[in-house]
Structure 1
Amino acid sequence: MKWMRERDALIAQTLAFVQSVAGRKAAAGAPPPSPAPESADTGSAAPEMAQPDGTSTIASNPPVPPATDLPPLPAANARSSIADDLKTEINARVASFRAHQERFNREREEYFSATLAKLRAAIRDGAPPRPRK
């Protein structure tokens, strides 16, 4: 079955990758055999090639080289600069929110004071209250 060969190939590639990342060698110094999936146009598997130690590998599926081109991990100072940038942005947003809320409170207080002043002036002048609608 084709899917079984594809599954086995994926497992072998994953195992080779894990071993290369962990810095381990394959058992007995040889890479694990990795069957290749069938080609879509011919329906046959790729030919196998015999290794000097007696194992065989598929010609179209060479062993995975160690992953040496991975980007380096960020240094501790890079992580702290990212944390500092986030902290700065959060503090700026909090300050902006506080300023916004203070402006709303100030406008509400001014409106209340203006309305209360109008009411007191109307009471003092003896003007009749406005009818409700």
Structure 2
Amino acid sequence: MKWKKERDLLIAQTMAFVQSVAGRTTEVEGTEVESRVEPIPLDEPTEVERPVETVAITRPSAVRHSELREEIRGRVAAFRAHQELFNRNRDEYCDSVLAKVRASTEHPSTAPGSPPAKH
């Protein structure tokens, strides 16, 4: 079980190092939370104390349902406007092609070498 004590010592030293580098206090949503780790000297292989630290658990700020609904409504409206633009362009193109086809069938052109049309 000596390896467990060595592992715990290593964890405690690592936490102490992290705290010394990062600073002793951290700020969570405008309030300071002090976290501390008790350093354990290496030359004392007796009982290993677990590091003591205070953890503040905070929830991320929730997005309001009304904000989400407004964003969804805006995106749906933009999508519908885009689809209507496509529909209008498609209808205009279809009308122009049909007009060209009708114009070409009403007045048959006389190609060179073809007999003249009789009325």
Larger Rg: 2
**TM-score scaled to structure 1, two decimals?**
0.44
